[in-house]
Amino acid sequence: MNFSEQADVVVIGSGAGGAPVAAVLAEAGARVVILEKGPYYTSADFIHDEVKICRRDFWVPYLDDEPHTIRKSEDVPAKRTRSGWTSACVGGATVHMSGFFYRLKPSDFRLAEMTGGIESAQIADWPISIETLLPYYDMLEARIGVSGRAGVNPFEVRDRPFPLPPLRPHPSAALFDKAARSLGYHPYPTPRAIASRVFGQRPPCNYCGLCGDYGCENASKSSCLVTFIPAAEATGRCRVKARSMARRVLVDDTGRVRGVEYLDAQGKARTIGARVVCLAASAIESARLLLMSQSSRFPHGLANNNGLVGKNLTFSTLGKGTAVFDRREIIDRVGLRGMDLPFFQRSVQDDYWMEGTGLSLPKGGTYNFILEHPNPINAAVRLAAGERWEIFGSEFKDRLRRHFLEQLTVEFEIFGESLPWNGSYVDLEPERKDRYGLPVARITARNHPAADEVNVKMLERGMDMLKAMKPAAESTSAWTWRDTTYHLQQGTCRFGTDPARSVLDPTCQAHEVRNLYVTDGSFMPTSGGVPSTATIMANSLRVADLIRERFLRREV
Amino acid sequence: MRVAERKRGQSMKHTRREILAGLAGLGASSLVLPRIASGELPSPDEERPFGADERRTLSAAEERLLPGAVEAGVPEYFDHWLPHRSFHLVLRYMAHGARHLDGAARKEHGKPFAGCTGAQQDAILKAFADGGFKAGKFDGSVFFRQLMELTLEGYLSDPKYGGNRNRAGWRLIGIPDGLRSCWWNPNGVEMVLSPDEGFQD
């Protein structure tokens, strides 16, 4: 094959899955090219403009340009949606993440063994144990800067301190600690991928509180954009090609990867040859790219002769709960100082495993307690929705004023297993194409009923913790809702030892395609009880080491 | 302030309404660009471009939804965003909804919406909000939510977009300078220690 360019390694996607691989291999001496379909933002782009950044598709493609489609089941038509994207920009979703950075636990790796299977779920155990990943979690935290306090969470798996002390919590967190402990829970400071002190050349967090959905212009949030990407470029051996859309992975007759076909920033079709291709475009988009890369050897899509690419799609987040407190009452109890700090900083993992609860899936996950996001438009719209849109006019205006000036809203989100099953998968839309002329990804997804059951139970318990803070009865309202968000996505190219039951081997190399790796959340056979970002990054560091060793042994 | 402890059954209903309102994501943002089914848009014969009548109707409705909206420049905010490339569906939908508001007002009171009294306008808006107004596939409650969401955007967004004039919206909710750039109170009142002072978590 003739290529217009050549590299040792091409990485598709510059987020949690791709950036660590690019940095490690460039540091080891490989020539690396990153193909990122989105733009290369800088801190000058990260303004605090709620409309532009949070409400006008700043992070995801325009619906008319590149839709996904989504349906709850095969009985209904799939509709166009903005859902199912991580982020299209250099650094990926780590640029606008809130940075909640938890490790997996041993039970996450052995869900099939520990449950004996769940009816109609397609659970598979991980082909590695947590011991394999632990040194990479340590390496990741030390390298990018993760803040927290070890020794408080009795359920954590770590043997050393965090490299940075925890962020300062809102004073009301002390009330939460008392309340949660009175119910037998063990609240602890939430670990964050945010620098709480000077870290390398990055300043400490300035507590603006806009981590979620915004880029951090301060570079305190430990996104790939301010960690692995500059490290990769500093080697002089890594080129980041932004606005470059990979559309096909190329293989030769022996089933070995050869390169990537992509559209450059001007829309011109180009090819780049590579000895190794690492795909990390998100579980949904990586599956899509493999399904599109059909050939005579792979008529159902690259690495898909066993039909598993796109299957077993899972997500991390389940429900949310909210409680509203009277600000003056909180001030009476904890004082005025610190009342405008933005972070609640409390997590609870007592319900990671929930035996004796009568649940068919006796596995919960993590409660992450937070304050309401500071975005005023979002809070106002939620207020209107919370009143079921029944209140408008001066009564609503007064409600709005009082919400911001007189209330404190504490929330929690649940991270848990959505369970892989044949009800959730990704495939290609038969007709619909995006602006590149490529078939769009169709998402079929709903929670497995056992996951919904766990969600309901955890919502009750989370609300119990909030209610135990004993807000004044007249001033409190509470509501819960079930929700699945589609940002944190996994499963579509699960790894495993058996080529008949997995797409990737335990090193994340495709069983059927030599030198093709997938390092985004696709590899995870189950979603685990925490958001997947930290795990994707740690695993990427692990896979990067393995690829480097193969280069050194001249196996590539 | 009332206590509203929602039982599970209610929260599920709440979920569907929230999904209809376009709330998604991890709590920081709702996407205004609508989940509007093509059946809810006007057919080509009944479609007109967004004109002075529609603007007058919507401005009157915005003012009922949020008193002070007109003075705060919410109509100018709509003027900025509705012609935007990614808003062509929203433009058509708002125009369509405005014409339905006028239709309802003419039917009830023989006048366009903007010519009715505040109480009459409120009654019409309430009927829309409660799902009591449907015309073909047009659902007044979906339109109401969209209108409320855009009005709140117009009231609380950066003034550079034409709304939140004189920062009226931000001053109402206690953030006169908008979303802060760091922890300290820009008005100079020392509310918070430096993040590390006396802190041991």
Question: Is residue B31's pLDDT more than 60?
Answer: no
- Euclidean distance between CA atoms A478 and B11, whole angstroms: 10
Range name among A350-354, A366-370, B175-179 with the lowest pLDDT average: B175-179
How close does chain B come to A487, measured CA to CA in Å? 8
Nearest Cβ partner for A168 among B6, B169, B201:
B201
Evaluate whether A410 touches A344 at the Cβ level (below 8 Å): yes
Evaluate whether A35 touches A265 at the Cβ level (below 8 Å): no
Q: What pLDDT does A478 receive?
A: 60
Q: What pLDDT does A319 receive?
A: 85
Q: State the average pLDDT over residues A401-415.
A: 93
**Sheet (strand A346-348) strand order:** A188-189, A346-348, A365-371, A407-416, A317-326, A478-481
- Euclidean distance between CA atoms B135 and B114, whole angstroms: 21
How close does chain B come to A159, measured CA to CA in Å? 19
- Euclidean distance between CA atoms A367 and A348, whole angstroms: 5
**DSSP for residue B43:** P
How close does chain A come to B126, measured CA to CA in Å? 8
Q: Which of A43-47, A385-389, A482-486 has the highest mean pLDDT?
A: A43-47
Q: State the average pLDDT over residues A420-439.
A: 96
**DSSP for residue B101:** H
- Euclidean distance between CA atoms A113 and A44, whole angstroms: 50
Query: Hey, which residues does A413 pair with through a beta bridge?
Result: A320, A368
Give the pair of three-digit tokens for residue B200. Answer: 């041991």
Chain B CB contacts of A480 below 8 Å: 6, 8, 11
pLDDT category of residue A475 using cuts at 50, 70 and 90: very low
Could A377 and B157 be called an inter-chain contact, meaning their C-beta atoms sit closer than 8 Å?
Answer: yes
> In whole angstroms, how far apart are CA B32 and each of A338, A429, B88, B165?
33, 25, 13, 21
pLDDT category of residue A337 using cuts at 50, 70 and 90: confident
How close does chain B come to A214, measured CA to CA in Å? 9
Nearest Cβ partner for B31 among A50, A82, A480:
A82
Could B66 and A206 be called an inter-chain contact, meaning their C-beta atoms sit closer than 8 Å?
Answer: no
Per-residue DSSP letters for A148-215? --TTS-TT---SS--SBPPPPPPTTHHHHHHHHHHTT---EEPPBSB-SS-BTTBPPP------TTS-
Burial of A261 (0-12, 13-18, 19+ CB in 10 A): middle
pLDDT digits (tens, 9 = 90+) for B153-197: 999 999 999 999 999 999 999 999 898 776 654 444 444 445 555
- Euclidean distance between CA atoms A275 and A7, whole angstroms: 7
More confident residue, B17 or B55: B55
How close does chain B come to A9, measured CA to CA in Å? 34
How close does chain A come to B54, measured CA to CA in Å? 20
- DSSP β-ladder status, A314-315 and A439-444: unpaired
How close does chain A come to B75, measured CA to CA in Å? 16
Q: What pLDDT does B33 receive?
A: 56
Residue of chain A nearest B84, judged by CA positions:
A56
Q: Which residues contact A184 (CB under 8 A, 6 or more apart)?
A: A350
How close does chain A come to B171, measured CA to CA in Å? 9
Residue of chain A nearest B119, judged by CA positions:
A393
Q: How many CB atoms lie within 10 A of CB B126?
A: 17
Could A401 and B173 be called an inter-chain contact, meaning their C-beta atoms sit closer than 8 Å?
Answer: yes
Residue of chain A nearest B154, judged by CA positions:
A377
- Euclidean distance between CA atoms B60 and B122, whole angstroms: 10
More confident residue, B5 or A519: A519
Q: How many CB atoms lie within 10 A of CB A203?
A: 12
Per-residue DSSP letters for A86-98? ---STTGGGGT--
Q: What is the pTM of this model?
A: 0.93
Tell me the three-class secondary structure of A358-398, residue by residue: CCCCCECEEEEEEECCCCHHHHHHHHHHHCCCCCCCHHHHH
Q: Which residues contact B154 (CB under 8 A, 6 or more apart)?
A: B62, B69, B72, B73, B74, B75, B76, B77, B78, B161, B162, B163, B164
Question: Is residue A154's pLDDT more than 50?
Answer: yes
**DSSP for residue A298:** -
Residue of chain B nearest A150, judged by CA positions:
B201
Give the pair of three-digit tokens for residue B150. Answer: 């855009």
Burial of B136 (0-12, 13-18, 19+ CB in 10 A): exposed
Mutate to test the interface with B, among A57, A381, A398, A461 (most CBs of B within 10 A): A381
Q: State the average pLDDT over residues B87-111.
A: 93
**DSSP for residue A353:** B
Chain A CB contacts of B18 below 8 Å: 385, 481
How close does chain B come to A493, measured CA to CA in Å? 24
Give the pair of three-digit tokens for residue A134. Answer: 């632990």
C-alpha dihedral sign at A13, A15, A20, A26: positive
Q: Which of A407, A427, A444, A414 is nearest to A290 (CA)?
A: A427
| ipTM of the complex as predicted | 0.93
Residue with tokens 């609380």: B156
Distance spanning both ends of chain A, measured CA to CA: 17
Could B86 and A55 be called an inter-chain contact, meaning their C-beta atoms sit closer than 8 Å?
Answer: no
Tallying the residues shown for chain B, one arrives at 201
Q: What pLDDT does A316 receive?
A: 87
Chain B CB contacts of A165 below 8 Å: 201
- Euclidean distance between CA atoms A212 and B179, whole angstroms: 13
> In whole angstroms, how far apart are CA B9 and each of A320, B6, B79, B85?
16, 8, 41, 40
Chain B CB contacts of A474 below 8 Å: 1, 3
Chain A CB contacts of B174 below 8 Å: 404-405
Could B6 and A480 be called an inter-chain contact, meaning their C-beta atoms sit closer than 8 Å?
Answer: yes
pLDDT digits (tens, 9 = 90+) for B61-87: 999 999 999 999 999 999 999 888 778
Could A208 and B21 be called an inter-chain contact, meaning their C-beta atoms sit closer than 8 Å?
Answer: no
SS3 percent helix, strand, coil of chain B, rounded to 5, is 55, 5, 40
Degrees, nearest 5: CA angle A334-A186-B195: 40
Degrees, nearest 5: CA angle A483-A487-A488: 95
- Euclidean distance between CA atoms A307 and A322, whole angstroms: 41
Q: What pLDDT does A340 receive?
A: 85
Note the Cα A121 to chain centre separation in Å.
22
Could B129 and A392 be called an inter-chain contact, meaning their C-beta atoms sit closer than 8 Å?
Answer: yes
Average pLDDT, chain A: 94
Q: Assign B109 to helix, strand or coil.
A: helix
C-alpha dihedral sign at A41, A46, A50, A51: negative
Q: What pLDDT does A532 receive?
A: 96
Range name among A340-344, A434-438, B118-122, B177-181 with the lowest pLDDT average: B177-181
Could A345 and B201 be called an inter-chain contact, meaning their C-beta atoms sit closer than 8 Å?
Answer: yes
Chain A CB contacts of B177 below 8 Å: none
Could B182 and A206 be called an inter-chain contact, meaning their C-beta atoms sit closer than 8 Å?
Answer: yes
Evaluate whether A539 touches A519 at the Cβ level (below 8 Å): yes
Give the pair of three-digit tokens for residue A538. Answer: 């740690």
C-alpha dihedral sign at A404, A410, A415, A418: negative
Q: State the average pLDDT over residues A20-46.
A: 97
Q: Which of B51, B69, B72, B50 is nearest to B59 (CA)?
A: B69
- Euclidean distance between CA atoms A295 and A2, whole angstroms: 18
More confident residue, A82 or A279: A279
Query: Hey, which residues does B30 pair with through a beta bridge?
Result: B23
Region at B73 (left for phi over 0; alpha for psi -120 to 50; beta for the rest): left
- Euclidean distance between CA atoms A446 and A451, whole angstroms: 10
Give the pair of three-digit tokens for residue A146. Answer: 């993760």
pLDDT digits (tens, 9 = 90+) for A290-334: 999 999 999 999 999 999 999 999 998 778 888 999 999 999 999
Chain A CB contacts of B86 below 8 Å: 56-57, 62-64
Could A57 and B148 be called an inter-chain contact, meaning their C-beta atoms sit closer than 8 Å?
Answer: no
Q: Which residues contact A203 (CB under 8 A, 6 or more apart)?
A: A195, A218, A219, A220
Mutate to test the interface with A, among B1, B66, B167, B182 (most CBs of A within 10 A): B1
- Euclidean distance between CA atoms B27 and B29, whole angstroms: 6
Mutate to test the interface with A, among B23, B155, B156 (most CBs of A within 10 A): B156
Could A208 and B169 be called an inter-chain contact, meaning their C-beta atoms sit closer than 8 Å?
Answer: no
Could A378 and B180 be called an inter-chain contact, meaning their C-beta atoms sit closer than 8 Å?
Answer: no
Per-residue DSSP letters for A504-544? B-TTSBBSSSBTEEE-SGGG-SS--SS-SHHHHHHHHHHHH
How many A×B Cβ pairs under 8 Å?
A: 212
How close does chain B come to A413, measured CA to CA in Å? 8
The b-or-e profile of A450-489 (16+ CB within 10 A means b, else e) is bbbbbbbbbbebbbebbebbebeeebbbbbbbbbbbbbbb
